[in-house]
């Protein structure tokens, strides 16, 4: 049995089945697609209030452009539950509310299954007692009809998802009713994509910082990856595509396309994005995307750059799928590998579907679990590759099906290579175990990780956040007061001693270089025989003022650290961050991995400076176009 992505056994729980569009409403206009486009998602039967409002989500259906507020639906109504919710419909606002809740909740379930812990949203920061303090946000708010425009986005400021609707051109005679209305809240891909933005922001809030050209692209790519592979959980949808494509997923298919209705409504000839191909603008025909390792160096726009990462992941999935079905095809073809003309046998379709679903589930879990193995700041595609390999090795060291080989091979074909590695062998790409001695063990010896590891029965998510915040404060205090703090943090890529440059920001109290304990969470995995292993993931970050002029940077670095900036020193042009992700064995307190981004790295500082100079910065497109809503600007098409 393959325990690679198994989860801890849980008692049988009741489920709630809800109907959704597997793709979007446009697919229901096709005689070949309409039946499988209406799918059923099985979710935990959580306690719900009208909205729906649950533990993680709150749907608020207000339409500011029309001045309307729609009545919240009650999914606990016996008649509604018996029918698996409301029937898929473009014109029934009740289904719109059900659709966003079901797909968003399904995305949360994927994250929790992969990471083995509850999901949390980004806190809301408020001023209390003259200081900025984080406030726990229990629910992500979802507005199905928030905008009358061709857009949908996650708002970090509101901790909300805002979906738009818009009219198609009256001369559009493609797959739309001319002058009809497209609701982005009815696209499975758009909902899953935006929910993933929110989940990723809750886990890695500094992945929204503009520090290199991979950062914004990673947010987009990862959200596309989750949206693509989430669809494979709907088995009937996969069966339809396997049957239609005669077992091959390398050719044009719906499973590799994202947001078809929105893409065509915005004037494209196909999906908004496609993982394995594209429409040739000259011929109007779909063409398979050939990997080009040079393309990454020439691509800067976040969606286009992110599409390269998506293609690399999807190609790895295809390689894994082909290897898993090779024996089935040999049996079905008498060893020739050439399938006969006509429809495939239903039994073969079923077996091929099983392998496609398993492969997609493995890839999805690998991608999500890798988030724990990433640095806390300044993420790059190469570092994500190392995180993928390390996370998968922790789960299954043997790699009997060569998943890691497929991932590394696919990434290299698209020009994505691991930094600071001299080999493309999977074992060489893994993060290395650091040599810290026993200093960290001594510093953390008195920290009680028991509740964080095992949880407290009946404790709410808000109570867990408060308990974790206290642990973070305790760890910060131990590191700050220890005589070994400078030596320990230096090995982790941070600088707090007298050698720290004056550009490192200081604390409000003692005027000394400061650091933050930003993240603390358990990372669970099952071993080959089902035994559970838990690590503690600790994130520490530090901030430094960055200047576009190297001479000004040197002046800022050479001054003594202090709480006030000299009058002859201008405000910083950008924020430069360093930090580390530490994997800690909670019993022995030893450090398994230290994934560091050195605050003193001159090459990385120069890379960030050049990025801002060349992009102008890209913040003009990513951050500046709409104050406080970076993802809104990024998602305008």
pLDDT bin (cut points 50, 70, 90) of residue 618 is very low
Scored b (16 or more CB within 10 A) or e, 247-271 reads bebeebbbbbbbbbbbbbbeebebb
Rg (CA), the chain: 25
Task: Report the pLDDT value the prediction gives residue 423, as an integer from 0 to 100.
Answer: 76
pLDDT bin (cut points 50, 70, 90) of residue 106 is very high
For 605, counting Cβ atoms within 10 Å of its Cβ (0-12 exposed, 13-18 middle, 19+ buried), the class is buried
d(CA 461, CA 451): 13
If you average pLDDT over every residue of the chain, what do you get?
83
pLDDT bin (cut points 50, 70, 90) of residue 137 is very high
Highest mean pLDDT (candidates 171-180, 304-313, 332-341): 304-313
Q: Which residue has the higher pLDDT, 343 or 544?
A: 544
Contact status, residue 271 vs residue 257, Cβ threshold 8 Å = yes
Contact status, residue 316 vs residue 406, Cβ threshold 8 Å = yes
Task: Report the pLDDT value the prediction gives residue 545, as an integer from 0 to 100.
Answer: 93
The angle at the Cα of 374, spanning 370 to 376, to the nearest 5 degrees, equals 140
Residue in this structure with the two tokens 């079923």, named with its chain if needed: 350
Answer yes or no: is pLDDT of 530 > 70: no
Would you list the DSSP string of 80-131? HHHTTSSPP-SS-HHHHHHHHHHHHHHHHHHHHHHHTS---PPPEEEEETTE
Q: Which of 241, 194, 230, 226 is nearest to 43 (CA)?
A: 230
d(CA 30, CA 35): 9
Long-range interactions of 432-437: CB distance < 8 A, separation 24+:
432/593, 433/591, 433/592, 433/593, 434/491, 434/591, 434/593, 434/594, 436/488, 436/491, 436/590, 436/591, 436/594
Answer yes or no: is pLDDT of 84 > 90: yes
pLDDT tens, 257-289?
A: 554 454 454 444 444 555 666 666 666 676 677
d(CA 269, CA 514): 52
CATH number of 16-203: 3.10.170
Per-residue pLDDT averaged across 131-138, rounded?
86
Task: Report the pLDDT value the prediction gives residue 170, as an integer from 0 to 100.
Answer: 65
Yes or no: is domain 214-431 CATH 2.170.140? no
Task: Report the pLDDT value the prediction gives residue 254, as an integer from 0 to 100.
Answer: 65
Q: How far is CA 91 from CA 207, 260, 539, in A?
A: 37, 19, 46
Give Dmax (Cα) for the chain.
81
Answer yes or no: is pLDDT of 6 > 50: no
pLDDT bin (cut points 50, 70, 90) of residue 115 is very high
pLDDT tens, 483-520?
A: 777 877 888 888 887 778 888 988 766 677 889 998 89
Would you list the DSSP string of 3-62? -TT---------EEEEEEESS-GGGGGSTTTHHHHEEEEEEE----BTBTB-SSEEE--E
Task: Choose the weakest-confidence range: 208-222, 410-424, 445-459.
Answer: 445-459
Using N-to-C axis directions, what is the helix angle for 302-333 and 346-369, rounded to 10°? Answer: 140
Q: Which residue has the higher pLDDT, 440 or 599?
A: 599
For the entire predicted model, the pTM comes to 0.90
d(CA 301, CA 380): 15
pLDDT bin (cut points 50, 70, 90) of residue 100 is very high
d(CA 231, CA 322): 19
Answer yes or no: is pLDDT of 21 > 60: yes
pLDDT bin (cut points 50, 70, 90) of residue 397 is confident
Task: Choose the weakest-confidence range: 187-196, 236-245, 248-257, 409-418.
Answer: 248-257
d(CA 556, CA 143): 45
Answer yes or no: is pLDDT of 78 > 80: yes
Task: Report the pLDDT value the prediction gives residue 617, as an integer from 0 to 100.
Answer: 46
pLDDT bin (cut points 50, 70, 90) of residue 123 is very high
pLDDT tens, 354-369?
A: 999 999 999 999 999 9
Task: Report the pLDDT value the prediction gives residue 525, as an integer from 0 to 100.
Answer: 79
CB-based contacts of 153: which residues, under 8 Å, 6+ apart?
Answer: 161, 162, 194, 197, 629, 631, 632, 634, 635
pLDDT bin (cut points 50, 70, 90) of residue 43 is very high
Task: Choose the weakest-confidence range: 315-319, 334-338, 363-367, 594-598.
Answer: 334-338
Task: Report the pLDDT value the prediction gives residue 3, as an integer from 0 to 100.
Answer: 40
Task: Report the pLDDT value the prediction gives residue 175, as an integer from 0 to 100.
Answer: 55
Q: What percent of the chain shows pLDDT beyond 70?
A: 83
pLDDT tens, 540-572?
A: 999 999 999 999 999 999 887 666 777 788 999
CB-based contacts of 276: which residues, under 8 Å, 6+ apart?
Answer: 250, 256, 288, 289, 311, 314, 315, 318
pLDDT bin (cut points 50, 70, 90) of residue 233 is confident
Q: Which residue has the higher pLDDT, 353 or 439?
A: 353
Q: Which residue has the higher pLDDT, 479 or 626?
A: 479
Q: How far is CA 80 from CA 95, 158, 185, in A?
A: 11, 31, 20
Q: Which residue has the higher pLDDT, 275 or 401?
A: 401
pLDDT tens, 170-179?
A: 665 555 566 6
Answer yes or no: is pLDDT of 182 > 90: no
pLDDT bin (cut points 50, 70, 90) of residue 629 is confident
User: Taking the domains of the chain in order of start, what are their residue ranges?
Assistant: 16-203, 214-431, 439-600, 602-637
d(CA 255, CA 232): 8
């Amino acid at each position: 049995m393959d325990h690679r992505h198994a989860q801890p056994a849980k008692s049988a729980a009741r489920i709630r089945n809800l109907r959704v569009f597997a793709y979007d409403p446009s697919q229901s206009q096709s005689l070949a697609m309409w039946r499988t486009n209406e799918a059923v998602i099985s979710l935990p039967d959580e306690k719900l209030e009208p909205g729906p409002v649950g533990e993680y989500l709150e749907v608020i259906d207000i339409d500011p452009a029309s001045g309307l507020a729609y009545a919240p639906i009650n999914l606990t109504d016996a008649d509604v539950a018996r029918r698996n919710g409301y029937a898929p419909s473009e014109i029934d606002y009740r289904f719109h509310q059900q659709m966003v809740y079901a797909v968003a909740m399904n995305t949360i379930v994927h994250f929790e299954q992969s990471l083995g812990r509850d999901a949390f949203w980004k806190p809301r920061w408020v001023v209390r007692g003259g200081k900025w303090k984080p406030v726990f946000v229990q629910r992500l708010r979802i507005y199905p009809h928030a905008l009358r425009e061709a857009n949908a986005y996650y708002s970090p400021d509101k901790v909300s998802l805002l979906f738009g609707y818009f009219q198609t051109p009256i001369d559009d005679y493609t797959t739309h009713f001319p002058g009809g209305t497209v609701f982005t809240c009815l696209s499975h891909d758009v909902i899953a994509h935006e929910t993933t933005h929110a989940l990723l922001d809750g886990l890695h809030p500094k992945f929204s910082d503009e520090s290199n050209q991979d950062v914004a692209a990673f947010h987009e790519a990862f959200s596309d990856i989750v949206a693509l592979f989430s669809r494979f959980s709907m088995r009937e949808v996969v069966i339809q595509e396997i049957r239609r494509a005669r077992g091959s997923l390398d050719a044009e298919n719906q499973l590799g396309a994202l947001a078809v209705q929105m893409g065509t409504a915005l004037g494209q000839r196909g999906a908004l994005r496609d993982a394995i191909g594209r429409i040739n603008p000259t011929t109007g025909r779909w063409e398979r995307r050939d990997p080009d390792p040079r393309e990454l160096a020439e691509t800067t726009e976040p969606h286009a750059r992110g599409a390269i990462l998506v293609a690399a992941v999807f190609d790895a999935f295809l390689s894994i799928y082909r290897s898993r079905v090779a024996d089935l095809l040999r049996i079905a073809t008498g060893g020739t590998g050439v399938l006969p003309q006509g429809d495939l046998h239903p039994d073969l379709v079923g077996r091929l579907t099983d392998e496609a679903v398993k492969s997609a589930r493995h890839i999805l879990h690998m991608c999500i679990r890798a988030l724990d193995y990433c640095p806390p700041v300044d993420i790059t595609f190469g570092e994500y590759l190392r995180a993928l390999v390390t996370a998968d090795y922790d789960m299954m060291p043997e790699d009997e099906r060569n998943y890691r080989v497929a991932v590394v091979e696919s990434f290299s074909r698209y020009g994505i290579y691991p930094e600071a590695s001299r080999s493309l062998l999977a074992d060489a790409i893994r993060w290395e175990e650091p040599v810290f001695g026993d200093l960290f063990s001594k510093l953390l010896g008195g920290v009680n990780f028991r509740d964080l590891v095992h949880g407290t029965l009946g404790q709410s998510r808000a109570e867990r956040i408060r308990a974790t915040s206290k642990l973070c404060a305790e760890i910060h205090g131990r590191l700050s007061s220890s005589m070994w703090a400078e030596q320990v943090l230096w090995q982790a890529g941070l600088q707090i001693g007298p050698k720290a440059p004056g550009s490192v920001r200081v604390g409000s109290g003692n005027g000394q270089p400061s650091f933050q304990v930003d993240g603390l969470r358990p990372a669970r995995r099952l071993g080959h025989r089902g035994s559970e292993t838990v690590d503690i993931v600790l994130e520490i970050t530090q901030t430094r003022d960055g200047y576009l002029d190297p001479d000004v940077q040197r002046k800022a670095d050479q001054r003594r650290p202090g709480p006030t900036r000299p009058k002859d020193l201008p405000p910083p042009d950008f924020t430069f961050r360093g930090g580390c992700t530490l994997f800690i064995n909670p019993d022995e307190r030893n450090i398994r991995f230290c994934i560091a981004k050195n605050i003193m790295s001159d090459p990385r500082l120069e890379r960030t400076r050049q990025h801002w100079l060349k992009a102008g910065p890209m913040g003009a497109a990513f951050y500046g176009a709409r104050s406080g809503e970076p993802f809104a600007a990024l998602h305008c098409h």
